Each structure stands twice: as structure tokens, then as C-alpha cells.
Amino acid sequence: MKVSFRWLQDYVDIDVSPDVFAERMTMAGLEAEKIEHIGDSWDNVFVGLVRGVSQHPDADRLVLADIEAGEHQLTVVTGAPNIAEGQKVALALAGARLIDAYADELKYKTLKPGKIRGVMSEGMACSEKELGLSEEHEGIMILEPDAPVGVPLKDHLGDTVIEFEITPNLVHAFSMVGIAREASAVLDSDLRLPAVADLSNHASDDELVMNDAPGLCRRYIGVVIEGITVEPSPSWLTARLTRAGVRPINNLVDITNYVMLETGQPLHAFDRNLIETGRIVVRRGRVGDQIETLDHRIRDVDESTLLIADGQKTVALAGIMGGVDSEVVDSTTSILLESAHFDMVNVRHTSRRLKLRTDASTRFERGIDPELARSAAQRAVRLILDLCPDARVVAWNDTYPAPVEQRTVAMPFSRIERVLGIPVEADTVLDVLTRLEMQPTIDEENDSLTVHVPTWRSDISIPEDVVEEVARIVGYTELPATLPTGTTPVVERDPLFLLERFIRRTLVSAGLYEGRSYATLSDADVDQWSTTTSISLTGEIPSSNLVRLRNPVNSERPILRPAIVPSLLDDIATNLKHQTQVKLFEVAHVYSGTGEGELPDEPSHLAIVMAGHRHELSRFEAGSGGHDELDFWDVKGVLDTLFDRLRVPATYKPVEHPALHPGRTSQITCAGQALGIVGEAHPRIATGYGIEQRLSVAEIDVTVLMALRPDLDGMQITADQYLPAEQDFSIVVDNDAEAGRVEEILRRGAGPLVTDLVLFDVYQGGNLEPGKKSLTFRVTFTAPDRALTDKELAKNRTRIERALSNELGASLRS
Amino acid sequence: MTDGSHGLSARINEVREQAIEELKSVSDGETLRDWERKWIGPKGEITSMLRSLGSLAKEDRPAAGRDAQALRSKLEAAFTPVQELIERQQMERRLAEESIDVTLPGRRPDIGAAHPISAMIDELIEIFAHLGFQAVFGPEVETGRYNFDLLNIPADHPARDVWDTIIIDDPAAEIVMRTHTSPMQARTMERLDPPIRVIVPGRSYRYEAQDASHEWMFTQLEGLAVDTNITMTDLKGVLQELARQLFGPERRVRLRCDFFPFVEPGVDFAVDCAICNGKGCRVCKHSGWLEMGGAGMVHPNVLRGVGYDPEKYTGFAFGLGFERLVMMKYGVDDIRAFNGNDLRFLKKFATVTI
Ligand SMILES: [Zn+2]
């Protein structure tokens, strides 16, 4: 809400600077989001009186204006079409800094006297744009007739506009008076309420308003005023509206807007002669009801909509916007003024449904004080009577069957200390709560504090609310800092997080960078990556398991990702424009629906993507034939290391996936459970992401990994006492035998003393039979309690040989 | 003295002269080893001389043996410095040959870097562990009940508008992307009994247009402490500890009244700017303060909602954004950088020790 510092002082004296004021209000809960100083740059600009205007001798379009401002008397050459004798204008003297109205961007220029078509122009009459007040530059700014001549314009029109953020609880401060009321409590300065007309002097007309929906309309005040003249508002009124960001229209509409800004109560004025049968009916909508609102749109109405109608037709969407059929226009001579209280939830629903938010609806839907309707109506009547000399109240009615009751909060006085942690003196509490108009009483002996909550403070209902009132006015600055005492709860560490952190750290030391990508995917991504064998590795993802967003921020990506890999791919091509090597991973939740009304499963996944050169450019690699491409083996190697460290014995098996290379993709399982997938992207898919290099990926289910990880707690980890024995085994098998299978058999045959097993050579050709290959492993044997003897090792070798020959028909090469 | 002994004595002189002469021309390891083998080695001249003592008259043998031994000692004494010299020369030659240009670049291991948000999460978990807070984690997709209702944000209340919510397309229930990590307040209190001290790091989501300072996916840290005697001064103390650990021991925390439905009283908290020491600079937008997040005392309705007696227990809660924290600490000026996977950005954090 934009608050003019000048206007605010109608209601409260503020003896600190606007900046200090904004700061103190902010500390008390009304955050000043923006402070705009108007007129700070208006040096050498004065209120001037146009003494006379004459034609420029040599230019048809220019005039010479004699302008007086105190001791300054000067002639100004101007082309402004609206200048006339007797006007008050903003007169800029030489040296004034003004906004260049013809520049495309904000630029200041310093005014210098100069000849225009042969006549010396000693100053300038300014437009609003040149003063930074608006974009208006058609003519010069005309000040109100009572503007004091000779006074610096800064003193006359300068102001500070503070934009306060009104949080949902602070509806009582959503007005000038509301802000003033807060200011009066914060600054301990008296509040002055605006002058009103007392409606109770007039006889009430019970026929004027019929409220058929008292559940949705708690109060309805109608006031009929005759003798209205619709005309432009006086300049003080238009100036205040403009400064608050409201466009002036005519005196009637301006008064309703002004009172809304001033009091927080939305008002509406109907042309009384267009209210058929002369009475207002408040009712719910019916099938077939329609209304054309002031924005000239036809609105469909349903039973949930609260309407204002007359004897025949609908005249307003209650609390939101009036209808064109009863609009106040220039010819209007009598009005029906509405000041009502509408149900906040209903206004909110209707406003949402119709996608129509107005100044009125934003106030009603926050829940304003029903008591406000009366004072606001009386204020508006007062202003109408002031501005239209012939106006008179001819009828009025206030239907308010269930007046709001004032709440009382009774609480232990010690609650303040219990919540804040420090005691606050009873006198201070009394003073603060009195400033907030809460009529506090304190009985320290009986540990009691009682307050009577003003009706406008709908946010205060429990003792803690009262504690906050005390704290925010006293301020938190002096609050000491302590640490919680008492028993410190046992800190248990989340095992999944620890595993994720282990993975992150391992992968970082393996040269990968951790990335982070958005949680949503497009339909195309999902189609491409999970049609048959899904990358989420839980088998095919039925489309019902996909979690869809109703309102995705990016409408092209409406699906919560079932896998991470696809969301990293867009960024690879971008990176490859400036990186020779991309090695990224991400650990994050993925989402799998579990049925309507249920939360989805959110397993944790690890994704790895690699593309580009295996080695960063360096003098050590240059000799070895340039740049090898990162490929399947690089990703798999990282996984091998990871699984080794986690002691999870993973098994690899070739698998087909529509997005992956048919010959370079492997499923990863452990103990019969799917753990993940590793492979190179199908070149067609990679190209689709703008990647011409090999693109290698892996996706691992970390939640499954955690379940498979052996419990190592209490495991004895000791340094080996005896030297290990290393033996090489060259195993000759058929070309199509899987190394994984050979390794499995070798490992089994080698027995429990194996501490390390590495396949370090794959050999074909030479003296091998055609169709055979030789796989060479180095196996390290270590016994915890003895040095191994040649005899033992030879026995081992025989056992291995037998196992290989029995199960694979393989032979050992010596 | 016999003839035989004369002959040997002449031989000794001859050997001495010849050996010493030859030694003078030895210039490398190989010729030195040849010399050693020829004269003083186990199959060398001295040895064969000693073996030939048997052919001498018995009385001549001791003197001849002494002479031969004396010759060996003499030759060995002459040999040692030459050997040392040659070894030294050899070593010098080797070192000279192996000399390199030490200004050439080294052989670098590949090391990556953690994401700055992950690193900051690790750091905050560590800081809060010292204060007795345990890290817990929860789902990113939440029910309206946990995300709003149990946090004292009723349906149809304007306070619900503050959170622009991304909604799951589910006809049967109100299921949303969590708009904050606060749902874990209720989940934690339902699971544990007081005393409770937890932090909840995690991704959160809001329906928000993206720009340099707004992101629809971001990372929050929730904090919650509940016990019989938790107060606002404790809240200030814990936040101050956080600020000091992150930004230095001189830092102060400022609380300001603010509104969040699930706390009462509610505050926002800021730390005085470490760059200008609170005097005002470009980083703190000339305010002297950097806003960190929201906090307050757990609202009695929240305690009641999970079955805690608000007359018995009090608690504080706070929330802050990791992105903002990293932006503050390292001057990152565009929040979208955190989700862009741009290696140029990520690599810069490899130099930072968070
Ligand atoms: Zn600063």
C-alpha cells in the first residue's frame, strides 16, 4: 500500500523523518518495501503566478508568459497550450534540474536561460513529467488556485511515498487511518480520525435495503443522497489519489475511492435513478442471472455468487465490482451509496472464479471490521456534502442484525516472560497495550492480564497474539540471545542422507561435478526415456504412475521426473560449447505415483552423465594420440569404484533400452534387485539433445542401494599382518563368454582369501584358437593369520582350474 | 731370504707400480670395477699372489704374506677415494641428466566439486549438530494437511495466498509440491516426543515466475526446537550462533516483527552486513542488514494439531533459503545459476571451502 507521508499527517503527528518512520514501522511489522522521495530534486522551482500571457512576436505557436514568484519576476517563452493568466504554475529558475521530457530514458538537464526565436526565456513553467510526477507532458502543470505563490515547490508539493507491505494478518492497517493508528501506537502520538457526517440525525428507511443473504452479507448500509453535481474533483483530492496510484474519474467515484484508501472500507455509488423500485436487494445469484460489470464484460453468475440487485435487475457483484446499468455518470443527480460487509470467503471464491480482482475484493477477502462500514459511510457522506453544496441525505438504512462482539483475552501476565524469555515491566505492558487501544488491566498478584480487543484487530484472539503486540512495539532489539537449556536430544543421523553424502563425496573425488536440475520433465522426455524398460528401473512405468502437475511453472514440463538423467541432458550440449569435458552427477528425489489421493513414492536417485574428452588438455596426454572420448567405461568405472567402496556386489547384464545404445547398455542388479542402468545414449537420442559426442549415462536407485549395503557397524577393520600373494590367471574362453560370468566363477573358485581381483588384460588372436579370447586376472590372496605357502596357492589354483573347466569349459593358460 | 722370496718381492713392487699406474687412468665405473677385479678382487692379482705363498720356503712365507697384505691395503687405500670420486661423478651426471623445467605444469588428478547448495547444506548440518540439532528429511510432495492445515493456514484464508502453490493433478485429494520445509514440523512432532531439536534441509517449490532473484525450485532449511522452556531469547541465540558461524564472530542478528501463520510471535531475521560492518554498502543495499529468513515461536494451534499441550510446551521455528545464503556469502547475483548445471559456475565453487 502506497502511503503519502504528508497525507498521513492528517491523522497523526510524526516528529521523525520519513526514513526513520519507515524503519520504525518496519520493525513493528509493517514492512516499508519502497520509499520514494518526491521533490528532492526540485531546487530552484517555485510556485509561480502567471501575471499575463502575450503572443511571441516571431512565432505563432509560442507565447510569452510573465510569471511572478516572490522576489522573482520573469518572462518565460513557452509552447504550452494550456497556459493562461491567473494560473498557479511550477516555475523553474536557471539552475533547476529537470527531467528531460524528450529523452527515451530518465535523464536530467539543468535549466539555462536562453533565447527562443529571439526572445530571452529566463525560466520555465514545468510539466508534470519534467518534475517526475507523471508522464504528462501535453501541457504545463496547473497548481490549485490556493497554492502559495513564491514558496519553493518542494515545500508545497514535496512528499515521501512509503510503500508498505500489508501481511494477511494486518488488514486493520490496510488504509491511511489504519497506518496512522499503527503509527500512533509505535510513536506514542495521538490519532485524529477524519471528520464525519452523523447519519443518525436522519430518519432511517427500513424499506431501502432487503438483505436476503445475511450469512454472506453481515451488514449493509445504503444512503440516498440527492442534489449531486458530478464534476471533476478538486485538485487536493486528485493529487492524493494520484499519489496513491488511483486514477481520478469524477468527484463521486473519487470520494468512494478516497474513503476506501482512507478507511479501508470499499464503497460503491449507484445512480439512484437507475435503481429500479428504488430499493436494494442483497441475494445469491440464480440460474440465468448475468451482469455487465464496469469493465464492460458480461459475467455469468451462479448460486455461490452474492449479488446486489434492485427490484428488477442485478446492479453489482457484491464486494467486487458494480454494474454498468447503474453506473454514476456525468448526468447523475442522486446516488445510492453502499457501505457493506461481505463474507471474505465468498468474495474470495467469486473473485477467483471470475478471475476478477479489484481494490474492493482484495480488501473484503482479507476480512475487514464490520464496524467500519458505518464510519466509512459517514465519512463519505461528509465529503459529498462538502463537495456538492446542494447535496442532502434523503434516506438511509443500516441493516446489521448481528453486530460484531468485542473479544476479551484473559491470560497469565507471566505468559509474556514465558514466551519472550525476559520479563517486561507491567507499566510498559500497560502503556503499550493502551496505545494499541486494548484497554489492558494487569493484576500482578494474581498473575493476570486482560485486554479488550478492538473490533478491527481480528488477528488477536489468543495470549500469544497479545505477547506479540507487546514485543513488536517494545521492539526486539534489546532481546538477549541465549541458547536452549535442558536435555539435548539424541542426534541420530539419517542413513539415507549419509549414504547420499558418501556418494557425493566419492564422485567428487572421482572428478565429477555435482549438478542440480529442475524436478520436472516434458512428455517427450518421458516417452523417450521410459517406454519399455524404464530408466526408473522399476520396470515399465505405467502412465498412471507418472505424477503430473496441474499448474506447472513451465507448461512444457508438467511431469514430476521419474528419473534424473533426462533433466541433465539439455545442459550438456550447452556446456560442451565451452567445456572439452562434461562429467556431471546429481542426487535427488524422483517421483512415482501410488494411486489417487496418495502421496507418491520419492526414492532417491543418482544420475551420472559424461561426454567429451576423457582428459582435460594437458602436455601429458598430448603424446598418446590426442583426445580419447569419455565412454561407457568411464561411467561404469565410477560405479565399480562406488559399489566396491560400499561393498555392494553389483552384477551387470546387457539390456535394451529405447534411448540407449543396443550394444553398450547394461542393467545393474544386486541380490536379484534392480539397482540401475548404465549405458551410452543411442546416437540418435544424443543428437536430439544437440550432442554429437558419445554420451554416457547411468541412473542408480540410491534407496535400493541403501537396503543392499551391508551393515558395517562393528566390523573389525585391521591392517593385514602377512604379505599378500599375487597370482595371475589367464583364462581362455569363447569369444562370446561374458567377463562378468568368468569373474564370478573365478571369484567363487578362489575362495575366501581373495582380497583383490582385477581383470587387467583381454587378448585375442596370436596363438589363441580362433573364436577364443583370453582374460587375465590378477588375484590377491591374503590370510589374516599366516603367510600363504606355495602349496596352498597351488591347491587354490587347481580348484580354480576345475571350477572354470566344469562351469565354462574354460582352460587356464600358463 | 731365498730366491723365491726375492722373486715375490719383485713381483709385489711390479704389481704396485702397475696397479697404481692403471688406477690413474680409471675414469668411469666400468674401468674401476675392472681394475678392482684385476688387482684386489677375490680372483685378482693379490689373491693369486697370496695363494702362491705355498711355493715359498717356509721361513719366507710370513714376510711375504705381510708384504702382500700390505700391498692389498695400499691398493685398497688408493682405490677408495677413486671409487668415491667416480660414484660422486656418476651421481652428478645422473642428477644433471634428470634435471627438469620445474615451471612446467604438473600432472593433475581429476577432482570435481560438490554443488554449492549441497556444500552449504553440509555446513549447516555441521553447525547445527554442535547446537544439538539433528537433520531430518521429508517428502517434497505433500498433502494440504501437512503443508497448510497443520501449520495453522486454513483453507480459504488469505494467508494461504502467500504461498503460490504448485498443485499435483490428483482428483481425490489436495496434494501439492511443498511450498516450504515447514510440513516437517508436524511430521517430526508426530514422530518424536519433546525435547525436539531438528533441522530440515530440502527442496521446496512455489508457483513463481523466474528471474534473477526468484526461482520456482529452491532449497530451504527449517529449524524447530520444542521443549518445556523454549523462549524467544533462545531463538535469537540460535540464529545468532548461525550468523556467527557463517559470517564471523562479530556478527549480530536483528529480529523484526513479521507474520507467518504458524508462529506467534513471528519475526524475520537479518544479519548485519559483514562487508560494511553494518554501515551500508552495495551488497546490503545500503541498509547494513542482510535478510536471512523468517522465524518465531511455534503457534499454539500447531502444537495442538500434533497433540502437544501448548500449556506445557513451547517451541521456536525458523526457515531460511540456502540459495540466498550462498548468494549472500559469495555474491552470486542470479539465483537461476544454481539450477543451470553450467560448469563454468560449478567449477568456481571448487575453490571454496564450504
Ligand atoms: Zn553492507
Exposure of B8 by Cβ count < 10 A (0-12 exposed, 13-18 middle, 19+ buried)?
Answer: buried
At residue B352, φ and ψ (nearest 5 deg) are: -105, 140
When comparing pLDDT for A109 and A500, which is higher?
Answer: A500
Hey, are the CB atoms on B113 and A367 less than 8 Å from each other?
A: no
Residue B133's identity, in one-letter code, is F
Does the structure show a pLDDT above 50 at A534?
no
Please answer yes or no on whether A519 and B109 come within 8 Å at the CB atom. no
> Cell 518496519 identifies what position?
A26
Residues of B in contact with A547 (CB under 8 A): 141, 168
Contacts of A509 in chain B (CB under 8 A): 111-112
Give B5's pLDDT tier (boundaries 50, 70, 90).
low
How do residues B68-85 score in pLDDT, each as one tens digit? 888 889 999 999 999 999
Q: What is the mean pLDDT of residues B175-184?
A: 96
Residue found by looking up cell 512415482 in the block: A592
With contact defined as beta carbons under 8 Å apart, do A335 and A380 qualify? no
- Round the CA-based radius of gyration of chain A to a whole number and report it: 41
Partner-chain contact A514 B133, CB within 8 Å: no
Q: Which residue, among A26, A164, A169, would best test binding to B if mutated, counting the most B CBs under 10 Å from its CB?
A: A169
Asked whether the beta carbons of A259 and A265 are under 8 A apart, the reply is yes
Q: Is A421 on the interface with B (CB under 8 A)?
A: yes
Nearest CA in chain A to B132: A488
Distance from CA of B282 to the nearest CA of A (A): 16
In sign, the C-alpha dihedral spanning A47, A52, A53, A54 is negative
Q: Let me know the angle formed at the C-alpha of A201 by A199 and A204, rounded to the nearest 5 degrees.
A: 70
CA of A598 to the centre of ligand 1 (A): 47
Q: What does the H/E/C string look like for A165-191?
A: ECCHHHHHHCCHHHHHHHHHHHHCCCE
Residue to substitute from B120, B175, B178, B232, interface A, most A β-carbons within 10 A? B232
User: What is the CATH architecture assignment of B116-349?
Assistant: 2-Layer Sandwich (3.30)
Q: What residues of chain A lie within 8 A of the CB of B144, using their CB?
A: none
Residues of chain A neighbouring B344 (CB-CB closer than 8 A): 578-579
In tens, the pLDDT along B258-279 reads: 999 999 999 999 999 888 888 9
Residue showing cell 670420486: B85
CA of B283 to the centre of ligand 1 (A): 5
Q: What is the pLDDT of residue A530?
A: 67
User: Which chain B positions have a beta carbon within 8 Å of A511's beta carbon?
Assistant: 109-112
What number of residues does chain A have? 814
Render pLDDT for A45-85 as a digit per residue (tens, 0 to 9).
999 999 999 988 888 888 999 999 988 888 999 888 888 89
* Cα separation, B127 vs A486, whole angstroms: 19
CB contact under 8 A, A169 and B159: yes
Find, in chain B, the residue whose alpha carbon is nearest to that of A488: B132
- Let me know the angle formed at the C-alpha of B17 by B13 and B20, rounded to the nearest 5 degrees: 135
Q: Residue A603 in 3-state DSSP?
A: coil
Average pLDDT of the residues in A669-688: 92
Considering only alpha carbons, which residue of chain A is nearest residue B145? A599
Instruction: Give the DSSP per-residue string, A377-411.
Output: HHHHHHHHHHH-TT-EEEEEEEE-SSPPPPEEEEE
Alpha-helical (H) ranges within B192-316 are 232-247, 300-305
CA of B288 to the centre of ligand 1 (A): 5
Q: CB-side exposure of B223: number of CA atoms within 13 Å?
A: 27
Parallel/antiparallel/unpaired status of strands B196-205 and B134-135: parallel
Q: How far is B276 from chain A (nearest CA, A)?
A: 19
List of E strands, A128-272:
142-143, 159-165, 209-211, 217-226, 267-271
Contact call for A616 and B175, based on CB within 8 A: no
Tell me, yes or no, if A507 comes closer than 8 A to chain B by beta carbon: yes
| Cβ within 8 Å, pair A489-B196 | yes
Inter-chain contact A507–B171, Cβ cutoff 8 Å? Answer: no
Among the partner residues A471, A490, A519, nearest to B217 by beta-carbon distance:
A519
Which range is most confident: A592-601, B5-14, B295-304?
Answer: B295-304
CB contact under 8 A, A168 and B266: no
Q: Closest approach of chain A CAs to the CA of B247, in angstroms?
A: 17
Q: Which residue has the cell 457501505?
A: A339
Alpha carbons A375 and B12: distance in angstroms, whole number = 139
Determine which of A703-717, B90-104, B326-340 has the lowest per-residue pLDDT on average: A703-717
The phi, psi pair for B104, rounded to 5°, reads -70, 155
Place of cell 455469468: A300
Chain B partners within 8 Å of A588 (Cβ):
203
pLDDT in tens, A414-438: 999 999 999 999 999 999 999 999 9
Helix, strand and coil in chain A, % to nearest 5? 30, 30, 45
Give residue B272 CA to ligand 1 midpoint distance, Å. 8
Neighbours of A117 (CB within 10 A): 12
CB contact under 8 A, B264 and A468: yes
Higher local confidence (pLDDT), A622 or A299: A299
| Between B53 and A802, residue with greater pLDDT | A802
Tell whether A606 lies on the interface with B, counting CB pairs under 8 A: no
Q: Rounded to an integer, what distance in angstroms lies between the CA atom of residue A178 and that of residue A465?
A: 18
- Measured between CA atoms, the residue of chain B closest to residue A601 is B139
Average pLDDT over residues B100-116: 92
**C-alpha to C-alpha distance for A297 and A277, rounded to whole angstroms:** 25
Q: Is A410 exposed, middle or buried (0-12, 13-18, 19+ CB in 10 A)?
A: exposed
The residue extents of the domains of chain B are 3-98, 116-349
Q: What is the pLDDT of residue B286?
A: 86
Q: Could you count the other beta carbons within 10 Å of the beta carbon of residue A35?
A: 15
| The predicted structure's pLDDT at residue A715 | 73
Residues A747 and A779: their CA atoms lie apart, in Å, by 9
pLDDT at A542 over 70: no
Residue A627 has pLDDT above 80, yes or no: no
CA distance B161 to chain A (A): 9
First to last CA, chain B: 93
Cβ B314–A468 below 8 Å, yes or no? no
A101 vs A115: CA distance, rounded Å: 19
Non-local CB neighbours of B102 within 8 Å, separated by 6+ positions: none
Taking contacts as CB-CB distances below 8 angstroms, the residues of chain A near B225 are 484
| B133–A420 CB contact, under 8 Å | no
Global pTM value: 0.87
Point out the residues of B that are catalytic.
Answer: 163, 180, 206, 220, 263, 317
How large is the average pLDDT for residues B277-299?
90
> If pLDDT is split at 50, 70 and 90, which confidence band does A444 have?
very high
The predicted pLDDT at position A533 comes to 41
**DSSP per-residue string spanning B60-87:** THHHHHHHHHHHHHHHHHHHHHHHHHHH
CB-CB contact of A241 with A258 (8 Å): yes
User: Cβ contact (<8 Å) for B236 and A481?
Assistant: yes
Question: What distance in Å separates residue B226's CA from the closest CA in chain A?
Answer: 10
pLDDT for A466:
98
The pLDDT tens digits of the residues spanning B120-177 come to 999 999 999 999 999 999 999 999 999 999 999 988 777 777 678 999 999 999 999 9
Rounded mean pLDDT of A253-264? 97
CA B224/CA B298 separation, integer angstroms: 8
Distance A15 CA to ligand 1 centre (A): 28
Per-residue pLDDT at A610 exceeds 50: yes
